A and B are shown apart, each in its own frame.
Chain A
Amino acid sequence: MSVLVVAEHLRGQVRPITLELISAAKELGEETAVAVIAKDPAALADQVDVEGVNEIVSVQVEQDEFENDVYRQAVEQLIAARSPDVVLVGFTVNGMGYAPALAARLGIGFASDVFALRREGGGLVAERSFYGSKVNAEVEFPGHERTLLMIRPTSWPPAEGDGAAVEAELEVSVTGSRARHSDFQEIAASGDVDITTADFLLSVGRGVGEKENLEQFEGLADKMGATLSVSRPLVDQGWMPNSRQVGQSGKTVKPKVYLALGISGAVQHLAGMKTSGTIIAVNTDPEAAIFNVAHYGAVADLFEVAEELEKLY
């Protein structure tokens, strides 16, 4: 199966997902081509010339940064020119901005948030989750000769090693970008604490129920010598600043101990903490996805456990 990987880059750097996509491509590919769509693709090509890449296709466009109309048109023309069996795009915010549109327009096979894939017979089988990551599924693509898959970040290790890719160029015509990048802003840049340097994070999720309950966990974290971090819903509701948020759209953390109370373990949360040294999870739901990555788990009420911890410290 020939695979086309669409490289992702931001502010002059190829993003890690690109190298993960190249590793994913190895599960399938006889031929892997990586497309670099940029104003100056040559400046980025080196970063994707790793083992397993057969060809790097430079696609020059006017825009420095990602714009969805540009990517959609460029990848559509890449597909027409190269006829890949499989197109791999990151399940990232950029990917979400054009890949489903492209799949819908072309009527090709499509699945997103894919974390495993393989060939079976002549066909392709991918795995993804449903129902709050409590259930996994094998999905197939009957009737489709070509498939676009959006790959869950950090599911494959980044590809490395010296590459010997052939360099090629493709000229594309991109008309009218209707959603234009104008500026970048850091929203979670700084806060009162830096949760990324803490050895011990006490992390609370929606299970804490109400804003009024948070104070208790701030106190508990203090007593235990932990730093308090949170899942996204607590930030969405304005209970905690962005700087405390763990996850894909927050901070990536790797403390020695991550103690998760009342966090279900959504993919985007796990993306920010799954490489922590030791993960302890407390949740009333025995099927919560957080238990799939935890080293220690307790099916228990977080308030009862917190009360007992108060007594011990």
Chain B
Amino acid sequence: MKVLVCVKQVAVLGDEVEFTDDERDVDPDYLDFALNEWDSYATEEALRLVEAAGSGEVVVVSVGDEDMEDGMRRCLAMGADRGIRVEAEGRLDPIQVARALAEVVQSESPDLVFAGVQSSDSVQAATGNALAGLLDLPSVAVVTKIDLGDGKATVNRELEGGLVDVVEVDTPAVITIQTGINEPRYATLRAIKQAEEKEIDMRQAGDLGEPGSRVRKMFVPPKGEGAEMLDGGAAEVAQRIKEIVQEKTA
């Protein structure tokens, strides 16, 4: 049982923002980085499936520069066996990332490929599905439960409004994992240390082609028109909240 998990170190914007000179992105000085929340659920799910199978491996894959390896190390500390990083610089769109991932999937021939539903910094919800398209693999997006069978899996696809679509999917397949599917384990300090020793294989990307889109300009969105800020300390804020609630629920 071999599960390949596509993971990303996402950018988190703090409470201040400046843009790069060409205005096409946020100045990296204003960004922090962390493992994408969805990807920790995907890694956990892969670990559980391999543990249940009794043998196999979990391989984490990232596309990007060396900073990506921090996120990969987190997954290795959770228990993933090894990593593969496809070297790429600059902003890639999800379709280009999928092209880079496709080469890795082809060389690894896993039984399942997982990706997070979306990454929290770009919210495209596209990489995993684009990958399935390029490789012409069966796929299901936004999955909250997986029961593995023989050559197929029964999965819950979570629709809007809390409705679940129970889907039978042929495997190998690409599945995008939704938060809440499991409870991701914490890595112990020892595991974090051991993860330093695990192998991350670096590969050069082939031709990633044209992006599906390109950012022309980034800007801070206009604030909501009627938004009135309540100033003062907590006591004053609470007092105003009480008044507003009284008035508006009357």
Flag if A309 contacts B138 (CB, 8 Å). Answer: no
Query: What are some 30 contacts across the A-B interface (CB < 8 A)?
Result: A68-B139, A93-B160, A96-B126, A96-B142, A100-B130, A107-B95, A109-B213, A112-B123, A112-B125, A128-B123, A130-B26, A130-B215, A131-B13, A134-B221, A135-B218, A178-B170, A180-B167, A181-B166, A184-B166, A185-B156, A185-B163, A185-B164, A187-B158, A237-B183, A248-B161, A286-B15, A292-B221, A296-B241, A297-B228, A308-B237
Asked if A259 is an interface residue, CB under 8 A from chain B, the answer is: yes
Would A278 and B167 be within 8 Å (CB), given that A111-B212, A257-B249 are in contact? Answer: no
Give the Cβ gap from A125 to chain B, nearest Cβ, in Å.
7
Asked if A77 is an interface residue, CB under 8 A from chain B, the answer is: no
Give the Cβ gap from A119 to chain B, nearest Cβ, in Å.
14
In whole angstroms, what is the CA distance A133 to B123 when docked? 9
Q: Specify the chain A residue showing the minimal Cβ separation from B167.
A: A179
Q: Which residues of A contact B13 (CB under 8 A)?
A: 131-132, 134-135, 287
Interface SS of chain B: mixed
Please pick, from A134, A135, A238, A308, the residue contacting B234 in the complex, using a CB distance under 8 A.
A308
Please pick, from B117, B138, B214, B228, the residue contacting A296 in the complex, using a CB distance under 8 A.
B228
Please pick, from B125, B223, B239, the residue contacting A96 in the complex, using a CB distance under 8 A.
B125
Flag if B159 contacts A291 (CB, 8 Å). Answer: no
Instruction: Specify which of B121, B131, B156, B160 lies most central, judged by the most chain A CB atoms within 10 Å of its CB.
Output: B160
Asked if B94 is an interface residue, CB under 8 A from chain A, the answer is: yes
B residues 233-248 with Cβ under 8 Å of A?
Answer: 233-235, 237-242, 244-245, 248
Question: Which of these binds chain A: B58-66, B173-181, B196-204?
Answer: B173-181
Instruction: Specify which of A66, A108, A137 lies most central, judged by the most chain B CB atoms within 10 Å of its CB.
Output: A137
B residues 116-130 with Cβ under 8 Å of A?
Answer: 117, 120-127, 129-130
Q: Which residues of A contact B123 (CB under 8 A)?
A: 112-113, 128-130, 133, 267
Instruction: Specify which of B14, B129, B179, B215 lies most central, judged by the most chain A CB atoms within 10 Å of its CB.
Output: B129
Flag if B163 contacts A257 (CB, 8 Å). Answer: no
Flag if B176 contacts A96 (CB, 8 Å). Answer: yes
Please pick, from A91, A93, A105, A125, the residue contacting B158 in the complex, using a CB distance under 8 A.
A93
Flag if A110 contacts B212 (CB, 8 Å). Answer: yes
Please pick, from A102, A187, A251, the residue contacting B164 in the complex, using a CB distance under 8 A.
A187
What are the interface flags for A180-195 relative to B under an 8 Å C-beta threshold, 1 for contact and 0 otherwise? 1111111111000000
Please pick, from A141, A179, A180, A249, the residue contacting B212 in the complex, using a CB distance under 8 A.
A141
Flag if A308 contacts B235 (CB, 8 Å). Answer: yes
Please pick, from A96, A107, A133, A292, the residue contacting B227 in the complex, using a CB distance under 8 A.
A292
A residues 179-219 with Cβ under 8 Å of B?
Answer: 179-189, 199-200
Flag if A100 contacts B133 (CB, 8 Å). Answer: yes
Would A104 and B130 be within 8 Å (CB), given that A112-B125, A140-B216, A189-B162 are in contact? Answer: yes
Number of interface residues of B (CB under 8 A): 89
Q: Which residues of B contact A232 (CB under 8 A)?
A: 179-180
What are the interface flags for B139-156 relative to A under an 8 Å C-beta threshold, 1 for contact and 0 otherwise? 111100000000000101
What are the interface flags for A231-248 relative to B under an 8 Å C-beta threshold, 1 for contact and 0 otherwise? 011011110001001001
Flag if B238 contacts A136 (CB, 8 Å). Answer: no
In whole angstroms, what is the CA distance A286 to B223 when docked? 11
Asked if B54 is an interface residue, CB under 8 A from chain A, the answer is: no
Flag if A292 contacts B214 (CB, 8 Å). Answer: no
The 8 A-B pairs with the shortest beta carbon distances in the complex, nearest first, are A101-B133, A188-B162, A110-B212, A308-B238, A236-B180, A178-B138, A100-B126, A304-B234
Q: Specify the chain A residue showing the minimal Cβ separation from B127.
A: A100
Q: Which residues of A contact B227 (CB under 8 A)?
A: 291-292, 294-297
Q: Which residues of A contact B26 (CB under 8 A)?
A: 130-131, 135
Q: Specify the chain B residue showing the minimal Cβ separation from A202.
A: B245
Flag if A301 contacts B234 (CB, 8 Å). Answer: yes
What are the interface flags for B217-235 relative to A under an 8 Å C-beta threshold, 1 for contact and 0 otherwise? 1111111101111110111
